[in-house]
Structure 1
Amino acid sequence: MDELDLLKKDWKKQESSYPKLSYNEIYKIIHKKSSSIVKWIFVICIAEFLFWGFINLLIPESFFTIYEKLHVKAFLKISNILHYAVVVVFIYLFYKNYNSICVIDSTSLLMKKIIKTRKTVNYYVYYNIIMTVILSIIVNIIMFSDSTLLNEVMNPKHLEINETKFFYIMLIAQIVGLLIMIGLLWLYYKFVYGILLRKLNKNYKELETLEV
């Protein structure tokens, strides 16, 4: 039983004598916990941004040679820049959510901010997954639109292979790779942000109890 549960139990025992003080004590704990959770969401989003930015800096230019030959290098670079711009917007929104929760002094307002934070996190998760799917589909459409070019790039030594069979093997490999990537992304967001959102939802339900 945590501190909040103990206070709630004590509040019910003393409800007739000290309802206001006990209510305020419970509210302060919920407020503090909610603020901490939203802060962690903000920090994790920044950490993700810095991590992937650092990874991109480590990738040598030679890695993109194959994409240049397939005429998707420029598209990938532009989409990457736009993606980071969108992530910066989400970081700003997470900061605003955290900053607003820090100064809230009303139960109803805190509940509204918790709902807003949940929506922002969900939008962020959906954006990353949908963006990955759309980007992969566009890149693959460009790559597979010219089977001859694809074969030349992926088989520079011109080994004796069936072009049609090779085409379908590549297509299946790309689809499987995309599904694995989406699955890993979903598991990551479900684990990291899912834990934080469940805690935030618990706080919301506690506030609903206080409002009754």
Structure 2
Amino acid sequence: MEDLDFLKQHWKKDDDFPKVDREEIRRMLHRSSSSIVKWIFFISVLELLAGLALNFFLPGSGHEPGDPAIMIVLEDIFSVVFYVVVIYFIYMFFTSYTRIKNTNSTRELLGDILKTRKYVDQYIKFNVLYILGTGVVVTSFILYQESIERSKSGDMVFFLIAMIIFMALFMWLLIFVVRMYYKVLYRRLVKKLNKNYDELVKLEEEEIDS
């Protein structure tokens, strides 16, 4: 990107700078955008593999004897939905990467950048909502089971209120950490992709005006 910034500054300062440099800037923006989307694809694949590894190796990640049938069914449904949606987004990231890599049209490149940005936003929102939904379901089952076990105890109401507060704070902290993670990785890459998009738009406008 340093070479790209140098070319842009040099080209803007000198009106007699050869037109080929505009094309060189466009090609560098093209390569940069392709590389950014490739990293988005790689990171999403690594996240999926890490999730599968945790589910496989983490003790107690499977069903426990005595778990309510409804909880087992919901857990399986949530897992299937999660992996299907994540694989869908991975496929869309890969498709965006191949399109950006192989296109020679600036107009198509601009459209693919916008689509990739939309996919990333949807991917982040889905993961946050999935964590929130899973937390609500798990908390509900914990409260239900504890209410049955403590139905004859005088501290049931106090316990349920304390559990709700604890789970709410835990979910808030977890979502905050997840959002920060996505901000550091995905948002940073999308920010660079947006910068490339703006530069490509400027090149197109300058080419039309010239």
TM range (shorter): 0.7 to 0.9
Tell me the equivalent position of 2:208. none
- Structure 1: which amino acid aligns with 2:28? I
Letter in 2 for 1:2: E
Q: How far 1:90 moved relative to its partner? A: 0.6
Matched position secondary structure for 1:65: coil
Counting aligned pairs with the same residue, the percent is 33
CA contact (8 A) 2:93 2:116 kept: yes
Answer yes or no: is the 8 Å Cα contact 1:11–1:22 preserved in 2.
yes
State the partner residue of 2:12. 12
Alpha-carbon deviations, 1:80-111, whole Å to 9, x = none? 12201110111100000000000111222111
1:124-135 maps to which residues of 2 (within 5 A)?
A: 124-135=123-134
One-letter amino acid of the structure 2 residue matched with residue 10 of structure 1: H
28 and 41 in structure 1: CA distance in 2 versus 1, 3 angstrom threshold: same
The residue identity in structure 1 corresponding to 2:25 is: I
Q: Please tell me the root mean square deviation across aligned C-alpha atoms, in Å.
A: 2.5
Q: Distance in 1 between matches of 2:36 and 2:203?
A: 20
1:177 corresponds, among 159, 170, 173, to 170
Query: Match of 2:190?
Result: 197
1:71 to partner: Cα distance: 5.2
Is the contact between residue 55 and residue 61 of structure 2 (CA under 8 Å) also seen in structure 1?
no
For structure 1, list consecutive stretches of 5 or more residues without a partner in the other structure. Answer: 153-157
SS in 1 for 2:67: helix
SS at match of 1:60: coil
Counterpart in the other structure of 1:167: 160
Whole-angstrom CA distance in 2 between matches of 1:150 and 1:37 = 53
TM-score for the superposition, normalised by structure 2:
0.87
Contact 1:72–1:142, Cα closer than 8 Å, also in 2: yes
Aligned to 1:155: none
Q: In the TM superposition, what is the alpha-carbon distance from 1:15 to its structure 2 partner?
A: 4.0
Amino acid at match of 2:186: Y
Deviation at 1:59, TM superposition (A): 2.4
Report how many residues are paired.
205
User: Per the alignment, do residues 205 and 66 of structure 1 end up closer, same or farther by CA in structure 2, a change over 3 Å counting?
Assistant: farther
Unaligned runs of 5+ in 2: 206-210
Q: Determine if contact 1:94/1:117 at 8 Å carries over to the other structure.
A: yes
Q: Distance in 1 between matches of 2:12 and 2:61?
A: 67
| 1:175 maps to amino acid | A
- Taking a change above 3 Å as real, the CA distance of residues 150 and 46 of structure 1, as seen in their structure-2 partners, is farther
Runs of 4+ aligned structure 1 residues displaced above 6 Å come to: none
Normalising by structure 1, report the TM-score.
0.87
